[in-house]
Amino acid sequence: MTVEVKRKTMRNMYLRVDPRVGTIMVSAPQQTTDRQVMAFVRSHNAWIARQRRQLSDAPPREWTDELMREARRNLDAQIPGLLEKWTPIVGREPTCITLRAMRSRWGSCTPATGCIRLNLQLGLMEPRFLEYVLVHELTHFWERGHGAGFQRRMDGYLPGWRAARRDLNRETTW
């Protein structure tokens, strides 16, 4: 099992499986030892096995220019309505939304600038996944981590968010 470790200025360790080759990638706080990283990886062996199984079962797809255009068109059509619905509820509005082909995340945000980045693949999936990711990122404008405050807000905004997250995380990126 190949494990790539990137040490960063962060508080928690994060684990993902590179969908292209199945490599385990760990982001860890700078002070984390190799022994701690390997213990973290071992504690997630069942999850890693599930991810690899899903990747091997998934039909091979190629991220073509046509798929990118289709995804962008779909997202451009859906996002304005979702923002109109959710910004009054959440109470924050993004200053910019960027669409990108991402390999390991469905979305991200920078609360300081108000920018949200969304994975283009969301434009080729069920609309509920885009809604969940957008509300998730908007919630980060209030709550930085995924702790109790974040979860309380998400429960209030989108009661079915945990099921959407679970189903989305069963999808594979390519």
Residue ranges of alpha helices (H) inside 31-160 are 34-43, 45-57, 65-90, 127-139, 148-157
Domain segments of the chain as ranges? 3-57, 65-169
pLDDT digits (tens, 9 = 90+) for 148-169: 999 999 999 999 999 999 888 8
Instruction: Give me the CATH code for the 65-169 domain, please.
Output: 3.30.2010.10
Residue ranges of alpha helices (H) inside 91-140 are 127-139
CA distance 17 to 19: 6
Q: What is the model's pLDDT at position 65?
A: 86
**Residue with the two structure tokens 């684990």:** 15
Amino acid at 19: P
* DSSP at 4: E
- Confidence check: pLDDT of 174 > 60: no
pLDDT digits (tens, 9 = 90+) for 118-131: 999 999 999 999 99
- Confidence check: pLDDT of 87 > 80: yes
Work out the mean pLDDT of the chain and round it to a whole number: 90
Q: Do residues 119 and 171 lie in contact, with contact meaning Cβ atoms separated by under 8 Å?
A: no
**Residue with the two structure tokens 């199945």:** 22
pTM over 0.85: no
